[in-house]
Each structure stands twice: as structure tokens, then as C-alpha cells.
Amino acid sequence: MERCALGLIGWGTVGGGVVDILTRDAALFRERCGLDLYLKTIVTRTPARDRGQKPASATITDRVDVLLNDPDIRTVIHLVGGTTAAKDLCVACLKAGKHIVTANKALLAEHGDELFALAAKHQVTIAFEAAVAGGIPIIAALRDGLVANRIEGIYAILNGTCNYILTRMTEDGKDYGAALTEAQELGYAEADPTLDVNGTDTAHKLAILARIAFHGRIPLAELRCEGIDKLTAQDIESARTMGACIKLLAVAKPSTRGLELRVAPTLIPIDHPLASVNKNYNGIYVHGSAAGPTLLVGQGAGALPTASAVLADVVDVCTGRYLATASRFQFFTSAHAVPLLPESDEVTSSYARFIVADKPGVLAGITGLLSKQGVSVLNIHQGTPNQSGQALIEVSTHPLKSADFFAAIHAIDQSGLTLKPTVTLRRL
């Protein structure tokens, strides 16, 4: 049986999950993979802290050189957040000839080119199943299970914090602030949830998925990204009126003119499989040219789900399987940049909410201007006017070019038919 000494840098929530699984279920790895995995060195800034767990095999230290200088340790589990110290530690490990298993999506999305080139130079690899959607094996699915497919579209809910907040806004009519507070109290949201709620975390994960699915560099700065922090209880109620719910949706859809790539709050028709992915769960709907649609649902964060993905990578790396597969796909070393489709050329369904005076001719005026711009209405709803005579007119459209949709909205807002700027959202 092969003994595999592992290093761990970062003993936080996910590190604790790794320690738990290796302590409790080491026999699984022996039986299933013929590997005797053990933690030899754990590097943490707080080695004296009592975590209620102490792997018998491990030296616990705050000195990374202990791990770097140990030729026994070929694989390092890198669970350091951020992109500064995390990058330095990753670089040091690669230069020392260690394979890296990481959960850090920001690091890969922002510095993947450089880090993978360095890994190739030192003939080691970087495995990152845990960086996207925690316990869902989406990287392995795209890399291996769906290898016979051209990917025709990825539609994904990739942030549990946002999904929890949106679910609670939908279920209870809570406003955004109250739902966020609840998510924080239950430990689903960070004390500082900025990168979750503004869409950045989802954008990092989408960039990684797109890179694998479409084989090239993704210009992260061009990835359009909107979060959920501006959504109101009215948006959620309006979605319900239109037979939909709102999810923070990551979309990657190729076309002959470029890759449509965005993160945005999106109306999902209630009968679409992604509409039932609720609470802190993630869901990834992949359209393959041969397999057709596949939906993977699971927990995208948390100690054990993320550690599950980390240890799947550890097994692939320690058996040599990952290195063979990764070099076959050259995930992050491709020089080719994937061209992105400009927003104006995207062809999608949309939703608009017009606030109007309840007067004869207003509805006809709006539909007239929509029709003039070639907007085909999928469904339309007008609520009972309020006491001041204001009414909501809500419209969902068939798919059309974004430029045409926004030209119609601009014309309507300029026409004097609306009392406030029109609210628009994407619709799946």
C-alpha cells in the first residue's frame, strides 16, 4: 500500500473538514484507491489554538519551510483565502516541486495563467475541484464525464449565500437586508458578504468553468457581473407574478460571434429545474451536444462538502491520474483567449417593469414602442392601480438582441409614458 504524506496550509473551516474525513474515514481511501493518506505537516498561523481535533500523524507549525523542505510531502492542500499571501504560498510550493490542491477560486481566476505556467515548469499540477461549487464534482464532470460533448451552455447557481437570501426573500417576502441578516445568523453568509452578494465570487467560479468548457483564457475584467444587493421585495413579487423566481445566474453560452458570459439576477421560469435549487444549495445545468441537459445539485460550501472535493483531488493527484488528465486539457496554459460577445449582441429573453399613470393609451403606447423595436412579448401583466393612480405594467419578452430590447426601453422612458425609470432584468 502506498503511503502518501500530505501537507496542509490553512486550518480553518475546510481544513477542519479535511482533518475530520482523514481521521474518520482513512480506511475508505485504502479500500477504494489503495492509498494510505496521512497528514504529515499542518501549517497554520495559530498552531497553539485548540480545535478539538489533533491528527496523530501531524506536526503542527506556523513555519511553512518545514513543509517546503520535506521531500516526503509531494502534495500540499492549500486552503488559504485571498490572493496575496495565498499566491506567495502557492508559488513557494510549486517552486519546491509540490503538487497543489486548492479551494481558492479568486486565486485561480485572477492568477491562473501565471500559476499554471509555473506548475508546468516544475512538472507539478494544481487541482481545484473544491474551487467551484464545493461538494458538486463539476470540474470532474466537465473534464471527464462530459468529454464527448461540445458544451452548448452552462447555466449555474454558484453562490449559496445569494441563493439562501433569494430563497428567503421569495418564501417569506423578506426584504434583502433582513434575509442577509438571517443568512449571517445561520452561518451561511460571511460577516463581510460583499464578494458574495456583489457577484464577484460567482464570476470567479464562472471564469474557471468557462475556461475548462471552452479551452482558453477568459478575460475576467470583461466578464459582466451584477449582484443581488440592489434587488427589492418588489422584484421578487414581480417575478412571481410572471411565473418565475429570481436566482443569481451565471451564464456561459457559446455562439459563432463570441462567448456570452455574465453573472446577473435572472428570472427563472418556475418549471425550470434550476428554479427548485433553493436555500444554500448550488445547481449547475450543463447543456452538452451529446448528453443533452445535465443538472448537478449540491452544497457549494461548508467544511465537509468542500473537503469532499479537496480529497477527491488529493486521490487523483496521489494516483498520478490528475497530472495525466490536466496536461491533456492544458486548462490554464492555453495562449488562446476566448472572445466574449458584447452585451449588445446577446440574444436573451428579458423582463421590464414600467411604472405608469393609469390613463387611456398608456398600454397601447408601450406595446407600440416595443413592437416598433421588434420586441415580441411573451407575457404581459398589469396590476390594479394604487390610490395615486399609478399602475405597474410588466412584460416578459421572447429572446431578442439586447441592443433592440434596451433601445425599446430607452424610447419608452423618453416618451413620457413612464413615471420612473423602467426596471429591467434578464429572463432565462
Q: What amino acid positions are annotated as catalytic residues?
A: 205
Give the nearer residue to ligand HSE in terms of CB position, either 251 or 301. 301
Give the nearer residue to ligand HSE in terms of CB position, either 7 or 134. 134
Of residues 99, 316, 117, 284, the one with CA closest to residue 205: 284
In three-state secondary structure terms, 64 is helix
Smallest separation, CB 178 to ligand HSE (Å): 18
Q: Do residues 248 and 166 touch, judged by C-beta distance below 8 A? A: yes
- Report how far residue 12's alpha carbon sits from residue 46's, in angstroms, rounded to the nearest whole number: 10
Residues 6+ apart with CB under 8 A from 319: 33, 35
Amino acid at the residue 364 = A
Residues 6+ apart with CB under 8 A from 376: 397, 398, 400
Q: Do residues 275 and 268 touch, judged by C-beta distance below 8 A? A: yes
Give the nearer residue to ligand HSE in terms of CB position, either 104 or 402. 104
Smallest separation, CB 304 to ligand HSE (Å): 14
Smallest separation, CB 5 to ligand HSE (Å): 28
Q: Do residues 106 and 90 touch, judged by C-beta distance below 8 A? A: no
Give the nearer residue to ligand HSE in terms of CB position, either 11 or 351. 11
Smallest separation, CB 420 to ligand HSE (Å): 33
Smallest separation, CB 82 to ligand HSE (Å): 13
Smallest separation, CB 301 to ligand HSE (Å): 4
Residues 6+ apart with CB under 8 A from 366: 354, 356, 393, 395, 412, 417
- Report how far residue 203's alpha carbon sits from residue 193's, in angstroms, rounded to the nearest whole number: 15
Q: Do residues 291 and 144 touch, judged by C-beta distance below 8 A? A: no
- Report how far residue 407's alpha carbon sits from residue 372's, in angstroms, rounded to the nearest whole number: 10
Q: Where are the alpha helices (DSSP H) in 149-286?
A: 160-172, 176-185, 194-197, 200-214, 233-241
Give the nearer residue to ligand HSE in terms of CB position, either 125 or 280. 280
Residues 6+ apart with CB under 8 A from 333: 113, 116, 117, 120
DSSP state of 302: S
Smallest separation, CB 215 to ligand HSE (Å): 24
Give the nearer residue to ligand HSE in terms of CB position, either 37 or 131. 131
Give the nearer residue to ligand HSE in terms of CB position, either 112 or 160. 160
Smallest separation, CB 75 to ligand HSE (Å): 22
Q: Which residue has the cell 481535533?
A: 53
How is 236-258 classified by DSSP, letter by letter? Answer: HHHHHHTTEEEEEEEEEEEETTE
Give the nearer residue to ligand HSE in terms of CB position, either 199 or 288. 199
Q: Do residues 38 and 4 touch, judged by C-beta distance below 8 A? A: yes
Residues found near ligand HSE in the complex (CB under 6 A): 159-161, 196, 201, 300-301
- Report how far residue 204's alpha carbon sits from residue 199's, in angstroms, rounded to the nearest whole number: 9
